[in-house]
Amino acid sequence: MSLGVALVATLLNEEKALAEFLDSVLSQTRSPQEIILVDGGSRDRSCEIIREYIENGAPIRLFVEEGANRSEGRNRAIRESSQPIIAVCDAGCRLEKDWLEKIIAPLERGEADVAGGYYAPDAGNLIERAVAAATVPTAAEVNPETFLPSSRSVAFRREVWEKAGGYPEWSLVSEDTLFDLAMKKAGMRFCFVPEALVHWRQQGNFAGLFRQFYRYACSDGAAGLLFGHYRKVFLMSGWLVGLVLLAMASLRLEPEFTVVPLAVIALLALVYAGRYVLRSRKRGWDWAAALLSPVAMAVVDAAHLIGYLRGLLGRKKR
């Protein structure tokens, strides 16, 4: 049964990627009944570009919500829609031509209430490839039972959004994860649709990578969401601190034994690096990206540790 679909997206200062995104939306094999975009107050030419598309006949409705975060923008777009199915993506991405057709298919067949697509990394330079190699799992690595869709590639029934209370407008970064958990709590049926493909650009420098994952971790800590990667980084940090303290104590008390904790630290560093190099190669990345991927992962782990602790501190203060 064919159902009406509203494709919604938020944006903020996306002029560089916007034309590619809009072209991919307008060339879908299944055209949505509505295309609704909410701009959070862009200071570049984003709104001007969208209005040019509208003047040329593109069936887009644009709303400007100055200062709105992504949750506020998505909720506004969904409220403005009138379709039973909502498909959500981000304006910084590029959709495959059959993305909408693929991602709404399980909903139209009545097999699921929420469908999450796969988002493949769009990586050009070496750092972008290393970041993708370290942080983006392949579709085959995704566990459909535990997968929490990102709102750069998700579709759901409108009543699901209503039952879950909409996107949490208090959360600035982890809003899609919290929304997923609210839908799961409401008893919604999820499915993973790996063939519904969105391409998204990776961070091109390590400072930006740290800021990105710091914000994720800070938001998760503030929300009390303790995922496995946070447990991993706290465990590794505990081991490292313990070994460093042991090395310092040995240096002072028994200098000849200092080599033991230092050797263990070196071995753990080698295992850490080797794990990510091998995983990157298994994912199909080139050797240069694979060899740099442990550095990218170390940046992510540092951001996880600092950001999560910062989020927990803020949570306790509240």
Q: Determine the pLDDT at residue 39.
A: 96
Q: Determine the pLDDT at residue 264.
A: 87
125 closest CA partner among 11, 270, 288:
288
Q: Determine the pLDDT at residue 316.
A: 57
What's the CA angle centered on 119, arms 114 and 123, to 5 degrees?
170
d(CA 68, CA 51): 20
In tens digits, what is the pLDDT along the chain, a chain of 318 residues?
Answer: 678 999 999 999 999 999 999 999 999 999 999 999 999 999 999 999 999 999 999 999 999 999 999 999 999 999 999 999 999 999 989 999 999 999 999 999 999 999 999 999 999 899 999 999 999 999 999 999 999 999 999 999 999 999 999 999 988 788 999 999 999 999 999 999 999 999 998 999 999 999 999 999 999 998 888 888 999 999 999 988 888 888 888 777 777 777 888 888 899 999 999 999 999 999 999 999 999 999 999 999 999 999 999 998 877 555
DSSP assignment of 120-174, as one string? EEE--SHHHHHHHHHH---GGG--TTT----TTEEEEEHHHHHHTTSS-TT-SSS
Assess contact for 316 and 159: CB atoms under 8 A. no
Q: Where do the domains of the chain lie, and which CATH numbers do they carry? A: 5-204 (3.90.550.10), 207-317 (no CATH)
Tokens representing residue 265 in the block:
């630290």
d(CA 187, CA 185): 5
Assess contact for 156 and 114: CB atoms under 8 A. yes
Q: Determine the pLDDT at residue 318.
A: 53
Q: Determine the pLDDT at residue 70.
A: 93
